[in-house]
């Protein structure tokens, strides 16, 4: 069966789609501004399960995943179109009202205006297509392709939590389970109600701090690979520098492979970006403090295309991208 | 069960969505241009059946339905985002390739650029979300709300064909059935591979000929009702002026209720617009000749809000909107 890469590569070639392949599409807006647009399709029983989540969490997540794409371009979100395909049994309940409550709560806090969309019936599964448009100074959208050899690689926040949360959900633990540990609940909520790095992304763009950027939706190994491929570079990262979700270590009794979760777990919706080595670490520490978001340097960009080296203690090995794949995504 | 109108009205009120409710959302672009954006969700076994259509027809239709929304704003289409949710059995075939062939053929002829989208897996049904963006001179988007008492009401092309085609499909007749009459096949293709009035819509907008406009996707009775409600006006239309699809009359032996098909059948994707009575009929005839699209005056706008009068011979009755409804559509 063809992979997403083969399909997308074939499509781009056949139809000469040269502008496809970043977190968002970039379009000229006016003389000072470009527009960025992202689409994210979320399908019941593929991307979420109704028995695990609440309508509010799902509404929040539907917007958050697209906000994360906008942030990854260094842009500011502005508007959204929301298409919902709804089975009749859900339409007969308060589900959609509660879904919008969750969606609008996040939209208000990020100043996103709902400008349109479509609501349709489906035979059985809920389907959500979230379209978000944003703005960025002309020519300043941060692409995946801007990494240079020697750039340092940063990651925001912490990694591995959302995948651990998914694993717990799959094992039957729900966020409202009786006697659930607080740290475990936080991991599950990281999966069900993720936050996008909206402010950080915009600031990294506005201040020209990120030379290349991508959001970590498929997993660090896959998304770093996407960034390297677009930039025609490689990377070296250090296992001991990767910022694990603090709640993972609190649940270490359960024998989690924390490094694997952080490397290959998806949906943390953190930002992965590269920066000029000359920008002082102190400067990033100040931004980190001001925004209350951890910014961790995990490695550097290297010359060899698409080769990612993972250093663990004193040894190193090639890191194979193992994150989540659908079939394909134009703007991942 | 709540209707689409109740739901949308409630949503608009709860979240103060004042800018929702036309064929497209309108956003400022630059000092001279506004942007219009449409979203159309098409769901397998609700909006189409795979056993009736071909992947190429479906790709064509997915774009055409959104082009029709752009045309109804008097705008020119520019870009598209396409989100596809694909079940694995289709992914394993050439279906998606052929779908894109149909999509791109229409995109090339209408100069629409594919700028992004998402491809995701679904458990079983194919889902398509078609987003198209267009441009129009600043402040010149033709809204549903611009109709004035005394305006004449025009409809482009002909009506009823797409619904008749759907009825034939439902009765088991396919476009490649043996010995199918040419007129019957044309009706079926009107349903499966509709054309949008892209050039006409743009010209009606550019030349300021349409004061209000909507595309006929749900059916004349429903779409005229939408237009009247937005304009806070009523309408009087004449049954003997409605332009029936010529292929309907060729199949009249089958006892079709042609007036009902033309009034309440959906998906003809013609344009319904109102114009100042002072613009000469000759002028519209010239445009009609130049574009090779029939333009028929079917009635006039009246003062009484939401009251639509249908004149049949020398009698008249109130026309109740009976066209297609999903649950709701923000931008219909």
pLDDT value for A332 = 42
Instruction: State the average pLDDT for chain A.
Output: 92
Chain A contact present for B49, CB below 8 A: no
pLDDT value for A13 = 81
pLDDT value for A5 = 67
Would you list the DSSP string of B210-230?
Answer: -SEEEEESS-HHHHHHHHHHH
> With bands split at pLDDT 50, 70 and 90, how would you rate the model's confidence at B49?
very high
Query: Which stretch of A149-158, A171-180, A203-212 has the lowest confidence by average pLDDT?
Result: A171-180
pTM (2 decimals)?
0.94
Partner-chain residue, chosen from B24, B120, B129, that has the shortest CB–CB distance to A47 = B120
User: Which class for A179: exposed (0-12), middle (13-18), buried (19 or more C-beta within 10 A)?
Assistant: exposed
For residue B276, give both structure tokens: 């100042």
A325 pLDDT more than 70: no
Torsion of CA A261, A266, A268, A270, to 10 degrees: 110
pLDDT value for A252 = 58
Residue range B274-290: average pLDDT? Answer: 92
Q: How many CB pairs under 8 A join A and B?
A: 190
Instruction: Tell me the residue length of chain B.
Output: 332
In chain A, what residues touch B327 (CB-CB under 8 Å)?
Answer: 86, 91, 119-121
Cα A228 to Cα B163: distance, rounded to the nearest angstrom = 51
CA max distance for chain A: 60
Neighbours of A140 (CB within 10 A): 15
Residue range A81-97: average pLDDT? Answer: 94
pLDDT value for A329 = 45
Cα B267 to Cα B280: distance, rounded to the nearest angstrom = 29
Cα B195 to Cα B190: distance, rounded to the nearest angstrom = 8
Distance from CA of A9 to the nearest CA of B (A): 12
Cα B114 to Cα B134: distance, rounded to the nearest angstrom = 12
Residue range A203-209: average pLDDT? Answer: 95
pLDDT value for B13 = 81
Return the SS3 of A55. helix
> With bands split at pLDDT 50, 70 and 90, how would you rate the model's confidence at A331?
very low
Residue range A206-222: average pLDDT? Answer: 96
> With bands split at pLDDT 50, 70 and 90, how would you rate the model's confidence at B30?
very high
Residue range A61-75: average pLDDT? Answer: 98
Distance from CA of B179 to the nearest CA of A (A): 34
Ordered domains of chain A (ranges, CATH): 8-137 (3.30.1330.10), 144-318 (3.90.650.10)
pLDDT in tens, A230-273: 999 999 999 999 999 999 988 655 667 999 999 999 999 999 99
B211 pLDDT more than 70: yes
> With bands split at pLDDT 50, 70 and 90, how would you rate the model's confidence at B4?
low
For residue A270, give both structure tokens: 């953190």
Residue range A104-120: average pLDDT? Answer: 95
* A80 and A107 Cβ atoms separated by less than 8 Å: yes
B180 pLDDT more than 90: no
Q: Do B327 and A123 touch (CB under 8 A)?
A: no
pLDDT in tens, B239-260: 999 999 999 988 655 667 999 9
E strands of A198-253, at which residues?
212-216, 234-238
pLDDT in tens, A154-167: 999 999 999 999 99
Neighbours of B22 (CB within 10 A): 26
> With bands split at pLDDT 50, 70 and 90, how would you rate the model's confidence at B201?
very high
Residue range A87-108: average pLDDT? Answer: 95
Chain B contact present for A137, CB below 8 A: no
Distance from CA of B78 to the nearest CA of A (A): 11
């Amino acid at each position: 069966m063809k992979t997403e890469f083969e399909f997308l590569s074939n499509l781009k070639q056949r139809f000469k789609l040269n502008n496809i392949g970043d977190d968002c599409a970039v379009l000229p807006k006016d003389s000072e501004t470009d527009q960025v647009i992202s689409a994210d399709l979320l399908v019941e029983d593929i991307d979420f399960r109704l028995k695990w989540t609440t309508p509010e969490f799902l509404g929040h997540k539907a917007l958050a995943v697209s906000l994360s794409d906008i942030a990854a371009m260094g842009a500011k979100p502005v508007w959204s179109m929301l298409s919902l395909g709804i089975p009749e049994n859900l339409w007969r309940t308060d589900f959609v009202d509660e879904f919008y409550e969750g969606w609008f709560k996040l939209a208000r806090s990020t100043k996103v205006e709902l400008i349109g969309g479509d609501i349709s019936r489906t035979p059985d599964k809920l389907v959500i297509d979230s379209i978000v448009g944003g703005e960025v100074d002309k020519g300043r959208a941060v692409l995946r392709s801007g990494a240079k050899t020697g750039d340092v690689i940063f990651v925001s926040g912490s990694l591995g939590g959302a995948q651990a949360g998914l694993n717990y959900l799959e094992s039957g633990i729900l966020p409202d389970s009786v006697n659930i540990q607080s740290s475990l609940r936080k991991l599950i909520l990281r999966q069900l109600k993720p936050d996008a790095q909206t402010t950080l992304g915009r600031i990294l763009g506005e201040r020209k701090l990120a030379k290349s950027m991508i959001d970590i939706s498929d997993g660090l190994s896959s998304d770093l690979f996407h960034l390297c491929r677009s930039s025609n570079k490689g990377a070296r990262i250090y296992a001991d520098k990767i910022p694990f979700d603090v709640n993972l270590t609190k649940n270490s009794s359960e024998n989690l492979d924390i490094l694997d979760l952080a490397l290959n777990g998806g949906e943390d919706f953190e930002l992965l970006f590269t920066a000029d080595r000359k920008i002082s670490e102190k400067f990033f520490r100040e931004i980190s403090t001001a925004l209350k978001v951890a910014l961790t340097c995990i490695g550097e960009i290297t010359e060899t295309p698409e080769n990612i080296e993972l250093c663990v203690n004193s040894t190193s090995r090639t890191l194979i991208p193992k994150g989540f794949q659908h079939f394909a995504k134009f703007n991942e």
